[in-house]
Amino acid sequence: MTDALLSVRNLRVEFPTRRGVLTAIDDVSFDIMPGEVLGVVGESGAGKSLTGAAIIGLLEPPGRIAGGEIMLKGQRIDNLGAEAMRRIRGKRIGMVFQDPLTSLNPLYTVAQQLIETIRTHADISEAEARKRAVALLDRVGIPAAARRIDDYPHHFSGGMRQRVVIALALCAEPELVIADEPTTALDVSVQSQIIDLIKEICAERGAAVMLITHDMGVIAETADRVAVLYSGRVAEIGPVTQVITAPEHPYTVGLMGSIPTLTQDHARLVAIPGAMPRLNAIPQGCAFNPRCERAFDRCFAARPEPLPRGDRRQVACWLYDAVAPAAEEKANV
């Protein structure tokens, strides 16, 4: 586990407000191996996008990293200055946002934006950069790339724009791509094209992907491992096949049961009662305890540690702790 490309340890993100400090991400740890696709799922407000923003250093003030470490290939990046971070952003970590229209500048042609980005990170001539940009657009599947490169973003459809954004994220050959809901704004038929493209192109270049989405289906098809977030904490993390076919955390079980599928009939869906707590009202102990059917005393007293289940999986739930209740005090400290 030492050769992780990205290693997030005990990350904590806080928002100071007039009524006290809200903890949006609380003690989140995970690794991404080189070339791996890690899916991050959760409902709105679970802290998915904030985790991505924290890694790439784009937390909006007053949000701030209040604890923990983020290491990129063993180098700490969470405490870098603005200038050093700017050099990593785009060069070593690429980013694909949800809405392709707002992540492109409407006043510049695609060529200008791509060439600028390429030349920021590589010392090459404009003509050379343009050649590279055309090749890149061609690779992401834009027909007649050499001609369309001089178009403005509004000339492209939603799916095509997202392809441009992917080209932009990949133009400096980053080691890690953070894709934050890359297909949410797109239609299903286009969504599958974009997912395939991200997966293919990252595999081709050996880039790791952190895929943030609320859509379990996308994760199932794309990711190698998945982290399930709830209230800013990791509920369960493990290989996709295990988490989807045999979820262990009661939240993951409920989440999987509440998704209607295309192949099975359900008279009723398994609904988790209630909703995710607001940040100022996260209960003591396990954040999921008010909605959990299997909660017991310990869940209300202490927050569960991520417990190893098998060699690649961790579940933060006391149900899976074999330790006698006497050890509870220790875990609490």
Partner 1 sequence: MSDALLKVENLTRYFDVSKPWLNRMLEREDKQFLTAVADVNFEIKRGETFALVGESGSGKSTIAKMVVGLLGASDGTIEFDGHKMTGTAGAEMRDLRRRFQMIFQDPFASLNPRWRVGDIIAEPIHTFGLLKGAEVSNRVGELLDTVGLSAKDAEKFPHEFSGGQRQRIAIARALSSKPEFIVCDEPTSALDVSVQAQILNLMKDLQDEMGLTYLFISHDLSVVRHMANRIGVLYLGRLVEVADGKRLFSEPQHPYTRMLLDAVPDLALSGRRRKPVEGEIPNPISPPPGCAFHPRCPLVMPRCKVEAPVQVPTPTGRAACFALEKQPA
Query: Where do contacts with partner 1 occur on this chain (CB under 8 A)?
Result: 43-44, 157, 159-160, 187-193, 195-196, 214-218, 220-222, 240-241, 244-245, 254-255, 257-263, 265-266, 268-273, 275-276
Q: Report d(CA 264, CA 143) in Å as an integer.
A: 39
User: Which run of H or of E encompasses 179?
Assistant: strand 176-180
Describe the crossing of helices 158-170 and 110-121 by its angle, rounded to 10 degrees.
20
Q: Report d(CA 330, CA 244) in Å as an integer.
A: 32
Nearer to partner 1, 2 or 263 (CB): 263
Tell the smallest beta-carbon distance from residue 39 to partner 1 (Å). 11
Tell the smallest beta-carbon distance from residue 183 to partner 1 (Å). 9
Tell the smallest beta-carbon distance from residue 151 to partner 1 (Å). 15
Tell the smallest beta-carbon distance from residue 200 to partner 1 (Å). 11
3-state secondary structure of 81: coil
Nearer to partner 1, 43 or 151 (CB): 43
Nearer to partner 1, 3 or 187 (CB): 187
Spatial neighbors of 117 by CB under 8 A, at least 6 apart, are 90, 168, 171, 172
Nearer to partner 1, 55 or 272 (CB): 272
Q: Report d(CA 279, CA 218) in Å as an integer.
A: 27
Q: Report d(CA 33, CA 3) in Å as an integer.
A: 7
Tell the smallest beta-carbon distance from residue 245 to partner 1 (Å). 7
Nearer to partner 1, 60 or 265 (CB): 265
